[in-house]
Amino acid sequence: MRVAGLHSTMRSNNSIHCPTRCIEKIMVSESNRKIALVTGGARRIGKEIALHLHRRGFDIVLHYRSSSEDAEALTQFMCDERPDSCMTLQADIQNTQEIEKLGSTLAEHYGTLNLLVNNASGYAPTPIDHCTPSQFDDMLNANLRGPYFLVQALLPLLKNARGSIVNILDVHAERPLPGYNAYCAAKSGLTSLTRSLAVELAPQVRVNGVSPGAILWPEEGESYDTSMREETLSRTPLQRQGDPADIAGAVGFLACDAPFITGQVLIVDGGRSLVG
């Protein structure tokens, strides 16, 4: 197990990253201070979500697994904008021991959590003819089991704040992507879990989901080659690709502007799911 990299980034001309002793107790002193944890928040859509929530007044706990340089740079940027408003926390959310450590760390330093954004995910092909048990488990652990037990670990903090959870889903939970069956199944499971937990955790905690369509193409490119990208956009009623800011805005809406909404999945796909 390795849970490391817990620090706040203080305003400094030398970009000094303060170790844990600098934040022995970042206890909430202002009654209106809001804390948001964004998993996988260092890059891509997670980064945009973190920036959007920060602009809306949240202090950010920026989780990452391996993108340490990106996480530290983003933390520095946000702390330059508003001192002591972001901290990074490294953990593998596929590991339940690290999830428990993450939960205890947040409890020690904040004692409350207003918002959990389950953004971190795994994405890899698993063709049924040669998918291994390990590959299958990796997709379920990253996209379903990890978020499940992270909610469990953070539940006392979320209840204390009467907070909310926003799960980042995928339109392929409903429109399967060939060769990515384990990923699609796991995201379908997280979609179902979103609705189940909305019932189970009410009225203390609201739970919703955002389901992105064509926002950022997968980095490995294998699942969406040029021709498939062109076809996807041509069959999208808005005739264009979305932007990470579209997802961040949807998360912000569900977290801040929708106190009577729970158990819902907001599809952000330019209308693609409406057509065959």
Q: Among this protein's residues, is 123 annotated catalytic?
A: no
SS3 for 116? strand
C-alpha–C-alpha distance, residues 63 and 38, integer Å: 6
- Whose tokens are 């998918």? That residue is 131
Question: Nearest Cα to 115, choosing from 49, 214, 195, 31?
Answer: 49
Contacts 24+ apart (CB under 8 A), 73-78: 74/41, 74/42, 74/47, 74/50, 75/8, 75/9, 76/9, 76/15, 76/17, 78/9, 78/50, 78/51, 78/54
C-alpha–C-alpha distance, residues 115 and 37, integer Å: 6
C-alpha–C-alpha distance, residues 154 and 107, integer Å: 8
Q: Catalytic pick from 64, 123, 183, 224?
A: 183
Q: Is 143 exposed, middle or buried (0-12, 13-18, 19+ CB in 10 A)?
A: buried
Q: Where are the beta strands (DSSP E) in the chain?
A: 7-8, 34-38, 58-64, 86-90, 115-118, 164-168, 206-212, 265-268
What sign for the dihedral angle of Cα 189, 191, 192, 197?
positive
Cis peptide bond prior to 83, omega within 30° of 0: no
Show Cβ contacts of residue 18 under 8 Å, excluding neighbours closer than 6 positions. 7, 8, 9, 10
Catalytic positions, written as ranges:
183
